[in-house]
Amino acid sequence: MAGYSSNPKAYYNQAEYTSPSAQYPSPAQPVVHKPDDTSAEGLPPPPPYSASSANTPSSAQENRSSADYAKYGSIPAQAGLLDPVRNDPVGGHYGPTRSTGEPRGGDSASASASSVPPWQRTNPHLPRDWYNDNNRRSTPPPSSSPSAPAPPLPSAPSQHIEPQRSPVPRGRDRPQRSWSLRGWDGPGPHPNNGRDNRDSGCCRKWCKYLFLAILIWLVLLKYSDIIQFSPPSSHMPQGDMKCDDRPAKLWEALPSNIRIEKNVRAVLEGHVSGGRVVIHPARPEDGGQGSIQSRVRVASKDPSITDRMHYAVDRSAGSLTLMMPQSGECIYVEMDIYVPGSAQSVFVRMANVHIKVDGQMTVDSVSLETSNAGLRFVQSGWRGRELVLTSQNGEIRVEDTIEASQRVEIQTSNAALVVRDVLSRQGQVRLENANGQIDARSITDAKTAEIVTSNGPVHVDTLRADRIAVESANGWIEINRAQGNNLGLKTSNAPVNAVVVDHDHVQADISTSNAPINLHMPSKFSGEFFMQTSHNKVILKDSLGEAGRIQYQINRDQLKQGIRLDGATAEIGKVSAISTNANVMIAFDS
Residue range 202-261, pLDDT digits in tens: 777 888 888 889 989 888 876 654 444 334 333 333 434 557 677 788 999 999 999 988
pLDDT for 419-451, tens place per residue?
A: 999 998 889 999 999 999 999 999 999 999 999
Rounded distance between C-alpha atoms, residue 289 and residue 250, angstroms: 26
pLDDT of residue 80: 58
Of 78-82, 573-577, 582-586, least confident by mean pLDDT is 78-82
Range of the domain at 458: 342-588
More confident position, 581 or 108: 581
pLDDT of residue 22: 54
Count of domains observed in the chain: 1
Residue 544 covered by a domain = yes
On whether the CB atoms of residues 513 and 493 are closer than 8 A, the answer is yes
Rounded distance between C-alpha atoms, residue 422 and residue 429, angstroms: 8
Residue 216 covered by a domain = no
Residue 97 covered by a domain = no
Task: Give the burial string for 173-212 (b: 16+ CB within 10 Å, else e).
Answer: eeeeeeeeeeebeeeeeebbeeeeeeeeeeeeeeeeeeee
Distances (CA, A) of 480 to 475, 484, 514: 16, 13, 22
What is the CA 187 to chain-centroid distance, rounded?
43
Rounded distance between C-alpha atoms, residue 568 and residue 548, angstroms: 11
Mean pLDDT of 163-192: 49
The DSSP H or E segment spanning 456 is none
Return the bridge partners of 337, or none.
Answer: 279, 292
Residue 454 covered by a domain = yes
Phi–psi pair at 59, nearest 5 degrees? -70, -35
For residue 416, the one-letter residue type is A
Rounded distance between C-alpha atoms, residue 206 and residue 423, angstroms: 54
DSSP secondary structure, 236-280, as one string = PPTT--EETTEE-EE-TTS-SEEEESS-EEEEEES--SEEEEEEE
Rounded distance between C-alpha atoms, residue 33 and residue 37, angstroms: 6
State whether residue 522 is helix, strand or coil: coil
Q: How confident is the model at residue 32 (pLDDT cuts 50, 70, 90)?
A: low
More confident position, 65 or 550: 550
Q: Closest Cα to residue 48, out of 76, 35, 67, 22?
A: 67
All residues at 6 or more sequence positions from 69 whose CB lies less than 8 Å from its CB, including other chains: 48, 50
DSSP letter (8 states) at residue 96: -
pLDDT of residue 126: 55
Rounded to 5°, the CA angle 172-177-181 comes to 155
Of 165-169, 451-455, 505-509, least confident by mean pLDDT is 165-169
Rounded distance between C-alpha atoms, residue 581 and residue 558, angstroms: 10
Highest mean pLDDT: which of 146-150, 232-236, 550-554? 550-554
Residue 23 covered by a domain = no
Residue 61 covered by a domain = no
Mean pLDDT of 395-399: 94
Return the bridge partners of 53, or none.
Answer: none
Checking if the pLDDT of 144 tops 80, the result is: no
For residue 457, the one-letter residue type is P
Q: Closest Cα to residue 588, out of 517, 519, 527, 530?
A: 519
| Assessment of whether the complete model's pTM goes beyond 0.75 | no
More confident position, 82 or 408: 408
3-state DSSP percent of the chain in helix, strand and coil, to 5: 10, 35, 50
> Both ends of the chain: CA-CA distance in Å?
100
On whether the CB atoms of residues 583 and 514 are closer than 8 A, the answer is no
Residue 415 covered by a domain = yes
On whether the CB atoms of residues 450 and 431 are closer than 8 A, the answer is yes
On whether the CB atoms of residues 484 and 465 are closer than 8 A, the answer is yes
* Parallel/antiparallel/unpaired status of strands 477-483 and 496-500: parallel
pLDDT of residue 153: 47
pLDDT for 279-313, tens place per residue?
A: 999 988 888 889 999 999 998 888 888 899 999 99
Residue 492 covered by a domain = yes
